[in-house]
């Protein structure tokens, strides 16, 4: 097996693991939504934030629509605003007031312009 084949196999396994995590989160979310108010259903927890950033950073999604489709439990608008919040938070915590050019390009490529 070549190194590329091994990397592809590992990525395939990781994608499968992420999809399983999405299903678990979706079931948990559905349980919460039947018991709680809208606030709980819109709440982002650490695992969802981690999943969002992993999907964007590792798999190179081109826009928020792709990420929202892969997460299967968030709208494009929710993904955009949460990602924007997380990236701003990370920029402030790292001592930089600006996002890196790569993340600015990603957000600029999103179809959501005026909200």
Mean pLDDT of the chain: 70
- The number of CA neighbours under 13 Å toward the Cβ of 93 is 6
Predicted pLDDT at 115 = 41
Confidence bin at 1 (pLDDT 50/70/90): very low
Predicted pLDDT at 5 = 62
Number of C-beta neighbours around residue 52 at 10 A: 22
List CB contacts of 111: < 8 A, sequence separation 6 or more: 63, 64, 65, 76
**Torsional sign, CA 10, 16, 18, 20:** negative
- Where along the chain do its domains lie? 3-109
β strands within 9-110, DSSP E: none
pLDDT tens for each residue of 38-51: 444 446 677 777 78
Q: Does pLDDT of 113 surpass 50? A: no
pLDDT tens for each residue of 74-112: 788 888 888 888 777 777 776 766 667 767 777 766 655
């Amino acid at each position: 097996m070549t190194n590329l084949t091994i990397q592809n196999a590992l990525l395939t396994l990781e994608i499968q693991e992420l999809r399983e995590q999405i299903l678990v989160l979706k079931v948990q979310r559905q349980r919460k939504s039947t018991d709680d108010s809208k606030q709980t259903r819109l709440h982002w927890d650490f695992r969802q934030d981690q999943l969002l950033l992993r999907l964007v950073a590792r798999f190179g999604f081109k826009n928020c629509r792709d990420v929202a489709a892969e997460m299967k439990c968030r709208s494009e608008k929710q993904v955009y605003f949460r990602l924007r919040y997380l990236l701003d938070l990370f920029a402030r915590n790292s001592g930089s007031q600006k996002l890196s050019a790569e993340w600015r390009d990603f957000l600029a490529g999103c179809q959501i312009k005026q909200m």
